[in-house]
Amino acid sequence: MPLPGGCRTTGMGILPHTDPEEAFRLTLSVDIPFWPQLPHVSFYEDMYAQASAHFPGIELDPERQRLSFSSERFYAELGDYAAIMEEEAPFRLAPPYSTVYRDFLARDLTAYAAVHGQCIGPVSFGLKICDEEKKPLIYRDDAREILFDFMARKVNVQFRELRQANPDAFVWMDEPGLEMLFASYTGYPSEQAVADYRAFLDRLEGPRGVHLCGNPDWSFLLRDLSLDVLSADTHGNGYILTRYSREIRDFLERGGIISWGITPTLTEELDPETEDSLLTRLEGFWEHLGTQGIDRELILDRAWLAPAKCCLVNLDGGTTVERSYALLRRLSHRLRERHALE
**Cα–Cα distance for residue pair 22/45, rounded to 1 Å:** 16
- Domain spans of the chain? 8-52+95-338
Angle, CA of 232, 17 and 164, to the nearest 5°? 70
**What's the pLDDT at 183?**
62
* Weakly modelled stretches of the chain, pLDDT under 50: none
**Cα–Cα distance for residue pair 144/20, rounded to 1 Å:** 34
Are 138 and 145 in contact by the 8 Å Cβ rule? The answer is no
**What's the pLDDT at 182?**
64
Dump pLDDT digits (tens) for 163-182. Answer: 999 999 999 999 998 887 76
Are 319 and 25 in contact by the 8 Å Cβ rule? The answer is no
Fold of the 8-52+95-338 domain: TIM Barrel (3.20.20)
Are 205 and 159 in contact by the 8 Å Cβ rule? The answer is yes
